[in-house]
């Protein structure tokens, strides 16, 4: 990050403030970590002692939030990894690289959806917070919790998985004790990896009730992988804060999500779905079943997301990036897919990725908007993402990236 600690004034910019309103001409002054002033039209902010950044008509917008982050999933736009496993030392370095890659691509915040290591994200976050490594604001997680099973439904594994309410409490408490803020459960299986598994509920009501009770006691957030309708219902009833997919939610599940709309977030995660449909694997890898399942899921999500949106549920982009055919760093592709498939305008999906992103991070009163008093996590974009959201897929179109009022990428840098 740039070591210049002077206030910064962005002038001759169009401001997308995160609300969903189209960009307006104006200026912004940043002091320390926060936005001090926002001016509209011909108004001007103070230039006292400031470094002035001439925006040249670029769009200034809040940094984006990745709501389904997997920093330990190995593949990125910079490094292809054919599988999901790396030796511990290489995994640690790869996770640090992925954190920097997300920030390079305009994601100044990330909500973890689970890790391949028990403590890696927690330690990585300590280095990011201290300034030792570049990366987004992170809600760190531990490994994903799945019950013992004959086949591997997900790369996240839990040693000595114990069934029953006591096992759930122990897992949640253990994650909290080592510093995780989000605790991920696979509430349902995943049909892309095991045919029919998305319709299977992996825990009992008593187990998930115990997890919810312990989460409240330990002050951590519960996150759930939930395709099956009954899995969605379990998550909502027992205090899960974030649910991914919700693919087969029935009317009762939709009603429960609507009733919980003030406290719950849903990320449909269609990036991995489209990536599966588009993948061209080598001849020795058979993805036919995965592609068939992906087509079903995409069709379901096309109907589900507009209905959830109509009911006022908070929906965020985040597409399960980090797999070989869906690498970390490609995350802004989700925005295009929401416009293409889910009926969003660019400004609406940008609102989800910014203002709602601040909310999922638990910082909705100070993150995700261009407003006085808010944290200065900002992007200066060459082009108008509200006219064509695809510009955000090119990191070279990000003329500047600011986090906490300091430049990760300064204007003029390549």
- CATH code for the domain of 12: 2.30.40.10
pLDDT given at position 159: 52
pLDDT given at position 270: 95
Q: Which of 331, 347, 375 delimits the end of a domain?
A: 331
Choose the weakest-confidence range: 157-161, 174-178, 345-349.
Answer: 157-161
Model confidence at 151, in pLDDT bands (50, 70, 90)? Answer: very low
Domain assignment of residue 167, yes or no: yes
Domain assignment of residue 3, yes or no: no
Co-location of 24 and 75 in the same domain? no
Co-location of 51 and 93 in the same domain? no
**Count of domains in the chain?**
2
Domain assignment of residue 52, yes or no: yes
Instruction: Quote the CA–CA distance of 248 and 254 in Å, as a whole number.
Output: 10
pTM of the model: 0.94
Query: Minimal CA–CA distance to 186: which of 217, 218, 157, 146?
Result: 146
Co-location of 200 and 89 in the same domain? yes
Domain that holds residue 37: 8-62+366-409
User: What is the average per-residue pLDDT within 242-255?
Assistant: 98
User: What is the average per-residue pLDDT within 59-74?
Assistant: 97
B/e letters for 333-345, b = 16+ CB within 10 Å, e = fewer, are bbbbbbbebbebe
Choose the weakest-confidence range: 64-68, 192-196, 207-211, 291-295.
Answer: 192-196
Choose the weakest-confidence range: 190-194, 196-200, 296-300, 341-345.
Answer: 190-194
3-class DSSP state of 392? helix
Co-location of 40 and 92 in the same domain? no
Supply the mean pLDDT for the chain: 94
Co-location of 137 and 68 in the same domain? yes
Co-location of 49 and 109 in the same domain? no
pLDDT given at position 281: 81
Domain assignment of residue 158, yes or no: yes
pLDDT given at position 383: 97
Cβ distance 16 to 353 under 8 Å? no
pLDDT given at position 286: 82
Domain assignment of residue 359, yes or no: no
Domain assignment of residue 235, yes or no: yes
Co-location of 159 and 215 in the same domain? yes
pLDDT tens-digit profile of 93-137? 999 999 999 999 999 999 999 999 999 999 999 999 999 999 999
User: What is the average per-residue pLDDT within 198-215?
Assistant: 97
Co-location of 19 and 72 in the same domain? no
282 or 121: whose pLDDT is higher? 121
Whether the pLDDT of residue 309 is over 90: the answer is yes
Domain assignment of residue 160, yes or no: yes
Whether the pLDDT of residue 355 is over 90: the answer is yes
Co-location of 264 and 404 in the same domain? no
Co-location of 310 and 197 in the same domain? yes
Co-location of 27 and 56 in the same domain? yes
- Residues whose CB falls within 8 Å of the CB of residue 85, separated by 6 or more in sequence, listed in order: 74, 116, 155
Model confidence at 156, in pLDDT bands (50, 70, 90)? Answer: very low
pLDDT given at position 412: 81
pLDDT given at position 136: 98
Q: Which of 277, 305, 331 delimits the end of a domain?
A: 331
User: What is the average per-residue pLDDT within 45-69?
Assistant: 97
Query: Minimal CA–CA distance to 116: which of 146, 157, 165, 69?
Result: 157
pLDDT given at position 248: 97
Per-residue CA distances from 391 to 142, 168, 248, 332, 381 (Å): 33, 44, 33, 9, 8
Co-location of 55 and 71 in the same domain? no
Whether the pLDDT of residue 152 is over 60: the answer is no
Q: Which of 280, 315, 331 delimits the end of a domain?
A: 331
């Amino acid at each position: 990050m740039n070591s210049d600690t002077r206030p910064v004034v962005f002038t001759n910019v169009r401001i997308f403030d995160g609300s969903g309103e189209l960009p307006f001409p104006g200026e912004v002054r940043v002091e320390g970590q926060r936005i001090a002033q926002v001016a509209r039209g011909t108004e001007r902010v103070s230039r006292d002692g400031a470094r002035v950044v001439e925006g040249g008509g670029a769009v200034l917008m809040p940094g984006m939030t990745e709501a389904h982050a997997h920093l330990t999933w190995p593949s990125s736009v910079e490094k292809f990894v054919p599988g999901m496993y790396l030796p511990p030392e290489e995994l640690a370095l790869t996770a640090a690289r992925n954190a920097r890659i997300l920030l390079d691509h305009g994601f100044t915040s990330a909500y973890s959806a689970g890790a391949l290591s028990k403590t890696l994200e927690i330690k990585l976050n300590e280095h990011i917070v201290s300034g030792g490594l570049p990366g987004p604001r992170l809600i760190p997680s531990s490994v994903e919790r799945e019950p013992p099973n004959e086949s591997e439904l997900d790369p996240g594994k839990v040693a000595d998985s114990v069934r029953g309410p006591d096992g759930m409490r122990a897992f949640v408490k253990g994650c909290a004790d080592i510093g995780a803020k989000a605790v991920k459960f696979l509430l349902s299986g995943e049909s892309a990896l095991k045919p029919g598994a998305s319709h299977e509920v992996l825990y009992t009501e008593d187990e998930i009730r115990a997890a919810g009770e312990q989460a409240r006691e330990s002050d951590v957030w519960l996150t759930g992988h939930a395709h099956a309708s009954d899995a969605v219902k379990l998550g909502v009833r027992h205090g899960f804060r974030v649910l991914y997919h919700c693919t087969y939610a029935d009317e009762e599940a939709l009603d429960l999500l609507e009733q919980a709309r003030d406290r719950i977030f849903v990320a449909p995660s269609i990036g991995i779905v489209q990536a599966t449909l588009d993948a061209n694997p080598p001849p020795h890898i058979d993805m036919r079943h995965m592609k068939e399942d992906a087509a079903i899921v995409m069709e379901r999500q096309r109907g589900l997301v507009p209905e959830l949106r109509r009911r006022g549920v908070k929906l965020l982009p985040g597409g399960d990036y980090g797999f070989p055919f869906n690498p970390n760093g490609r995350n802004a592709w989700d925005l295009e897919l929401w416009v293409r498939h889910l009926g969003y305008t660019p400004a609406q999906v940008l609102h989800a990725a910014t203002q709602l992103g601040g909310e999922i991070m638990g910082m909705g009163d100070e993150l995700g908007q261009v407003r006085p008093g808010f944290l200065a996590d900002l992007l200066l974009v060459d082009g108008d993402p509200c006219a064509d959201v695809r510009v955000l897929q090119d990191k070279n179109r990000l003329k500047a990236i600011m986090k906490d009022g300091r430049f990760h990428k300064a204007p003029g840098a390549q």
